[in-house]
């Protein structure tokens, strides 16, 4: 079931009893966070909140916690179970070449469905109801200051749209934006993200076209200077711009698609089309050569200068700590378009669980079939919310050969944003990775630490405050599978304690009489 826009989604939440309208006056500075944090910490993640009386922002409504429960996450994606999406992905990945006309005919519905993935450009849409080329100020929107020591106000749920200067393909990524003043904001795409790669590609293009006074810049040198990173060598940077558009308040499948760690060449507009079984409608921007969702509540158009970095942060982050100040590109706004009486969609991050925990869990489920394409031995995966996803991945495998657990660790570290995984625990297929008690029991019992823990070095999440260097550090893999003689383990491996079925049945039959319950 596809929602037409954010308003349609809000109505659905309301009908399902998943929304609370808050009519009391509430300050976007800290107060909305404190309220939402308390709600998020309730056992099922609490309801979505629509603040209808935001202090200093008459007429504005603020939506928060829209994805903040398992039920709402399923509703957002129009499914009864997230496994349905995984099964659909599997179905598309499992296509065999058709033999004969009949098999080709059978494929037609699938091809028709694939047609719905592609976005459609339309001539206009509600996001153009108001077009502001001059009279705008980013702080006309009720942007939150989330936590007391944040560097300022941050746009936290933006879908940031860029175009790859080489291929023309678009990317939509969710990168927070610190509002500096009326017309500029930080562009916090971390260096391993696709927006940052488009930025580097624009630098490469500027350097090689000779536009830049820096002239051609060696690729490796350019890489070192091309993202955030306070300790990086500061050199001359090529001049030029990368156009950027930002959509705030889109229908939920698209907002969610902006978070999905998709392969760089897969447009998130297509992912959203896949998720909602309906194409995303796009309209052209007014001042930049980009397209934006036609029904977005708010669109910011602008650019980042290739030779400008500015301090961004600190910001109370999803790790539960403030991410440190660092240098990032600056987004300059050239035009703002919005719906009449726009609804500002936002989120807060902080100590888990928060709204993003539910989004992360959905990604975990949806990505499992994709991980299995490269690592078919994977049975299940759990990224515990408390470890803020990238710090711990527990994975069960069908072990088939010596060293198999280590192969899986290395495969995961080589797979897109899973590269950030600080600790991977690999268990055998008969261990339920969703049962943390079982995982701890197995891991603690099954390892000889010196033998079974593997360290490696590589890129780490920019938010990691403990790595030896920003963005670079170590990772740990724990092989908690049963050890085999062919892995050099020649002692007998003990059997797990399990009661026999006959005794269980006898005790089941006598249970009531025992008077224990």
Ligand X SMILES: Cc1cc2nc3c(=O)[nH]c(=O)nc-3n(C[C@H](O)[C@H](O)[C@H](O)COP(=O)(O)O)c2cc1C
Residue 102, number of CB atoms within 10 A of its CB: 9
Q: Is there binding between residue 190 and ligand X (CB under 6 A)?
A: yes
CB of 360 to ligand X, least distance (A): 7
The CA distances from residue 224 to 217, 229, 232, 367, 469, in Å, are: 11, 9, 7, 31, 14
Q: How far is CA 322 from the centre of its chain?
A: 19
The CA distances from residue 216 to 211, 223, 242, 367, 485, in Å, are: 9, 13, 18, 39, 56
Contact region with ligand X (CB under 6 A), list: 203-211, 226-234, 255-263, 421-429: 255-263
**Residue of 175, 269, 358, 413 that binds ligand X (CB under 6 A):** 175
204 touches 225 (CB < 8 A): no
CB of 368 to ligand X, least distance (A): 16
The DSSP line for 458-498 is: EE--TT-SSSSBTTEEEEEEEE-SPP-GGGT--SPPPPPP-
CB of 171 to ligand X, least distance (A): 5
Q: What is the CA radius of gyration of the chain?
A: 25
**Residue of 194, 202, 283, 290 that binds ligand X (CB under 6 A):** 194
Closest C-alpha to 190, from 329, 67, 308: 329
CB of 421 to ligand X, least distance (A): 13
* Residue in 5, 150, 201, 317 annotated catalytic: 317
Cβ-based nearer residue to ligand X, 157 or 330 = 157
Q: Is there binding between residue 171 and ligand X (CB under 6 A)?
A: yes
**Residue of 232, 301, 326, 356 that binds ligand X (CB under 6 A):** 356
**Residue of 145, 156, 212, 319 that binds ligand X (CB under 6 A):** 156
**Residue of 85, 143, 155, 259 that binds ligand X (CB under 6 A):** 259
The DSSP line for 26-76 is: B-TBTHHHHHHHHHHTSTT---EEEESSBTT-TT-EEEE-TT-SHHHHHHH
Contact region with ligand X (CB under 6 A), list: 256-264, 378-386, 428-436, 452-460: 256-264
Q: Is there binding between residue 174 and ligand X (CB under 6 A)?
A: yes
Write down the residue that tokens 């971390």 correspond to.
190
166 touches 201 (CB < 8 A): yes
**Residue of 33, 212, 347, 382 that binds ligand X (CB under 6 A):** 347
Contact residues for 36 (Cβ-Cβ < 8 A; gap 6+) = 49, 64, 65, 348, 355
Cβ-based nearer residue to ligand X, 176 or 406 = 176
**Residue of 261, 279, 302, 313 that binds ligand X (CB under 6 A):** 261
326 is catalytic: no
Cβ-based nearer residue to ligand X, 65 or 443 = 65
Q: Is there binding between residue 76 and ligand X (CB under 6 A)?
A: no
CB of 413 to ligand X, least distance (A): 16
Residues with catalytic function: 317
Residues that bind ligand X (CB under 6 A): 156-157, 171, 173-176, 188-190, 193-195, 259-261, 347, 349, 356, 359, 417
């Amino acid at each position: 079931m596809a929602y037409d826009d954010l308003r349609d989604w809000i109505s659905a939440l309301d009908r399902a009893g998943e929304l609370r309208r808050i009519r009391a006056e509430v300050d976007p500075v800290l107060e909305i966070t404190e309220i939402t944090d308390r709600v998020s910490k309730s056992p099922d993640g609490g309801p979505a909140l629509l603040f209808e009386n935001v202090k200093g922002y008459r007429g504005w409504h603020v939506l928060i916690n829209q994805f903040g429960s398992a039920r709402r996450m399923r509703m957002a994606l129009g499914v009864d179970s997230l496994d349905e999406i995984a099964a659909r992905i599997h179905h598309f990945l499992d296509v065999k070449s058709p033999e004969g006309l009949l098999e080709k005919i059978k494929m037609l519905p699938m091809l028709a469905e694939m047609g719905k993935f592609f976005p459609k450009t339309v001539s206009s849409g509600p996001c153009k109801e108001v077009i502001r080329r001059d009279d705008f100020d980013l702080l006309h929107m009720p942007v939150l200051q989330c936590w007391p020591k944040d560097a300022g106000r941050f746009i936290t749920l933006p879908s940031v749209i860029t175009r790859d200067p080489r291929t023309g393909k678009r990317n939509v990524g969710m990168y927070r934006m610190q509002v500096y003043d009326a017309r500029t904001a930080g562009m916090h795409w971390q260096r391993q993200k696709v927006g940052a790669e488009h930025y580097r590609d624009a630098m490469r293009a500027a350097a090689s076209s000779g536009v830049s006074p820096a002239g051609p810049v060696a690729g490796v040198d350019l890489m070192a200077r091309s993202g955030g990173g306070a300790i990086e060598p500061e050199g001359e940077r090529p001049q030029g711009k990368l156009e950027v558009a930002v959509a705030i308040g889109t229908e939920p499948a698209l907002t969610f698609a902006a978070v999905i760690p998709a392969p760089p060449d897969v447009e998130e507009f297509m992912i959203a089309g896949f998720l909602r079984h309906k194409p995303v409608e796009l309209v052209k921007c007014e001042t930049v050569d980009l397209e934006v969702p036609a029904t977005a509540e708010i669109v910011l158009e602008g650019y980042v200068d290739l030779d400008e970095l500015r301090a961004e942060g600190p910001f109370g982050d999803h790790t539960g700590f403030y991410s440190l100040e660092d240098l990032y590109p600056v987004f300059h706004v050239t035009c703002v378009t919005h719906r009449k009486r726009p609804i500002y969609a936002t989120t807060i991050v902080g100590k888990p669980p928060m709204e993003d925990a539910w989004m992360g869990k959905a990604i975990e489920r949806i990505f499992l079939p994709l991980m299995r394409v490269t690592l078919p031995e994977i049975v299940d995966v759990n990224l515990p919310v408390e470890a803020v996803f990238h710090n711990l991945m527990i994975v069960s495998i069908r072990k088939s050969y010596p060293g198999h657990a280590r192969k899986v660790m290395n495969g995961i570290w080589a797979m897109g944003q899973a590269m950030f995984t600080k600790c991977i625990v690999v268990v055998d297929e008969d261990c339920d990775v969703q049962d943390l008690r079982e995982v701890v029991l197995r891991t603690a019992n099954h390892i000889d630490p010196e033998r079974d823990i593997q360290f490696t070095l590589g890129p780490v999440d920019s938010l990691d405050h403990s790595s030896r260097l920003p963005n670079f550090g170590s990772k740990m893999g724990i092989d908690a599978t049963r050890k085999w003689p062919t892995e050099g383990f020649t002692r007998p491996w003990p059997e797990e304690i399990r009661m026999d079925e006959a005794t269980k049945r006898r005790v089941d039959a006598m249970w009531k009489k025992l008077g224990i319950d």
